[in-house]
Structure 1
Amino acid sequence: MTSIAELVSAAGGVLRKRDLVALGATDRRLTHAVRSGSVRRPRRGWYSTLSPADRRFQAVRIGGRLSGAAALFECGAWLQRRPPLTVSVPANASRLRPRRRARVVWDGRDICDRGSLTSVDPRDALVRAICELDFLDAVAVVDWALHTGLIELDDLPRLLAHLPRDAQRIIGWVDPKTQSILESLVRTRERLRGNQVEIQCRLSNGQLLDLLINGIVGLETDGREFHESSFEVDRRKDCVIIGDGYLPLRASASMVLRDADRLSRAIETLLTIHNDPPPSRPDILDLARPLPGRGRRPWRLGRVPCRADRTRFPCPA
């Protein structure tokens, strides 16, 4: 006979009592499972095999499901740090258990009808996460969603239609060709500095270059810290980058995540010592620039520069 713990684990770690009863569980078996410690009750009528430290367990204990960046973090989204706990509950929810440093949001029936017992649908979580995170992380999670196939670029405007009008302009900052959070962070930082960045450029030997900045600096992320086994291959690729007329630069994950200013100064130095004039940057001039946020959202996007602004300020700061 299948145990209660096996039934709950097969359902993702959390299951309601009525679902267990439909599977043949009795009150006696449920009581024995709780007393033996094979399952826990985060809330009356709910049974779980998850650890109490698990955020899914905590969300159910409060009375809802994970939402926003907290839900995307459990899915493996590209985030620099663990986000605060956000819990989605129905609009008519009651008897919630408060928890310090946890944010509770009330969602409509359309959102409540999607997702799992522990998390809202990842698409709904993505929309909320965009307004929770800072600008770099917000762009990164959208890049992640496009990279993993969670959403398609053509479907993104419809998905973001419920966001404020300025937040919808984040579409101009994402790139579906991005392969990692490191590429996303470097690309956004350099574009904010007025540089043109191309992703996954093909070299003369057919290999792909992670980032090409202003058509001058060929930047490869991860470096030897994660590519120890391919050290020789990476050095040969550097020779190809030089042979194609670019200045090679390699950055480890720790440099991108924790020493971004030094990396940016190195890029600017390489751009400065290069004798060729910088290329035109129409994609940068057409972007709405991030500004300090208002209310809960830590950022907002300004208007797209008009033609007169582009003449006065060819490289927006």
Structure 2
Amino acid sequence: MEHMTQADAGPAPRIARTRDLRAAGWRASEVRAAVESGGLVRVRQGAFCSPLTPPDCVAAGRNRGRLACVSELRRRGVFVMDHATRHIHVVPEAARLGPPGTNRLHRDRLLRAPHPRSLSVEVFDAVRQSVLCQSPRAAIATTDSALHLGVLAHDDLDELFASLPRRHRRLRRLLDSRAESGPESLMRLILRTLGCRFDVQVEIAGVGRVDFLVDGWLIIECDSRAFHSSWEQQKRDRRRDQEAAMRGLTTYRPIAEDIMERADVVRAAVAGLLAARPR
């Protein structure tokens, strides 16, 4: 059943209708046997998908919808702040939906028509929905991530912001696709509120590339457990900091969790460092 594999389905998982399976030579008894053995997943009456299909996409299909907004972006590897809610797009006239639970339903008009069998909305609409759904700082971090990963094209920004309410259009000038992680985007926004001069992704001789260089002397590295948890990595980080110190530079490493959830504490820490050294 090659047409049902995740790789062949492309970036958006799809369902197969009963008539699709019959056209591929499946008998009704074979479909039933495949469902019972786990070789097929029955999404709803007359609709099936591969067992490799992400559970959130299956849940969206069972609600007669498509995975949307931050949930679809998270599936594609884009940074989002909300991991607790499943966002599903349904057509405005949809009825007979299952219990809402942790689902958030979107009934907006899509600007990019997904494939009729698709279990998720197109990226353009997912980003648009995510800007409307999230706080401004989270929306900027998500859009930065989508641009950095190439999931959203820079050429789509004009149309994207033209489709948003006017109050959201001011966010465009705050985007920077050079950010390599969500916490880096959020850290950049914190630095903007301090009015300091800073550069991003700076190459320093003997040290390497750093996330931020503030006022020419303060290095800020946004550490996450994914890339800094091993002792070997921590040793490399500390030796980099040592090299920076030899050049008269100070290094501050806020953890990603604090940048995302305790931004006021991180801001106060940076402000304290800047105040201790005259510009």
User: TM-score, normalising length from structure 1?
Assistant: 0.74
Alpha-carbon spacing, 1:256–1:174, altered in 2? closer, same or farther (3 Å): same
Q: Is the 8 A contact 1:115 1:122 kept in 2?
A: no
Aligned pair partner of 1:271 in 255, 264, 274: 274
Q: CA deviation at 1:83?
A: 4.6
Is 1:262 matched with 2:265? yes
Give the letter aligned to residue 274 of structure 1.
R
* CA deviation profile, 1:177-219 (whole Å, cap 9, x unmatched): 1111221121112223444442102213472121123444211
Match of 2:80 in 1: 79
Q: CA deviation at 1:230?
A: 3.5
Alpha-carbon spacing, 1:153–1:242, altered in 2? closer, same or farther (3 Å): farther
Match of 1:106 in 2: 107
Alpha-carbon separation, structure 2, partners of 1:97 and 1:7 = 29
Q: Is the 8 A contact 1:62 1:99 kept in 2?
A: no
Alpha-carbon separation, structure 2, partners of 1:185 and 1:214 = 18
Aligned pair partner of 2:236 in 233, 236, 241: 233
1:298-313 correspondence runs (5 A): none
Q: Is the 8 A contact 2:14 2:117 kept in 1?
A: no
Aligned pair partner of 1:8 in 4, 7, 13: 4
The number of residue pairs the alignment matches comes to 272
Unpaired runs of at least 5, structure 1: 277-317
* CA deviation profile, 1:292-313 (whole Å, cap 9, x unmatched): xxxxxxxxxxxxxxxxxxxxxx
Alpha-carbon separation, structure 1, partners of 2:277 and 2:118 = 56
SS in 1 for 2:162: coil
Q: Is the 8 A contact 1:216 1:271 kept in 2?
A: no
Q: Is the 8 A contact 2:123 2:152 kept in 1?
A: no
Q: Is the 8 A contact 1:63 1:89 kept in 2?
A: yes
Deviates more, 1:171-180 or 1:98-107: 98-107
Match of 1:287 in 2: none
Q: Is the 8 A contact 2:111 2:125 kept in 1?
A: no
Q: CA deviation at 1:226?
A: 2.9
Is 1:174 matched with 2:170? no
Alpha-carbon separation, structure 1, partners of 2:22 and 2:224 = 54
Match of 1:90 in 2: 91
Q: CA deviation at 1:37?
A: 4.3
Q: CA deviation at 1:138?
A: 0.7
Alpha-carbon spacing, 1:234–1:47, altered in 2? closer, same or farther (3 Å): same
CA RMSD of aligned residues (A): 2.9
* CA deviation profile, 1:135-183 (whole Å, cap 9, x unmatched): 2211111110111012343431222210011212211111111111221
Alpha-carbon spacing, 1:115–1:272, altered in 2? closer, same or farther (3 Å): farther
1:1-317 correspondence runs (5 A): 2=1, 8-10=4-6, 11=9, 12=13, 14-50=15-51, 54-108=55-109, 110-114=111-115, 117-205=118-206, 207-222=208-223, 225-226=228-229, 228-276=231-279
Alpha-carbon spacing, 1:275–1:35, altered in 2? closer, same or farther (3 Å): closer
Q: Is the 8 A contact 2:79 2:182 kept in 1?
A: yes
Q: Sequence identity, in percent?
A: 28
Deviates more, 1:21-30 or 1:161-170: 21-30
* CA deviation profile, 1:40-97 (whole Å, cap 9, x unmatched): 3221111134499921111101101011111111112112340522221234544443
Alpha-carbon separation, structure 1, partners of 2:138 and 2:178 = 17
Alpha-carbon separation, structure 2, partners of 1:268 and 1:227 = 30
SS in 1 for 2:78: coil
Alpha-carbon spacing, 1:28–1:157, altered in 2? closer, same or farther (3 Å): same
Alpha-carbon separation, structure 2, partners of 1:149 and 1:183 = 17
Q: Is the 8 A contact 2:38 2:51 kept in 1?
A: no
* CA deviation profile, 1:196-255 (whole Å, cap 9, x unmatched): 442102213472121123444211122794363234433342244345543221233344
Give the letter aligned to residue 269 of structure 1.
G
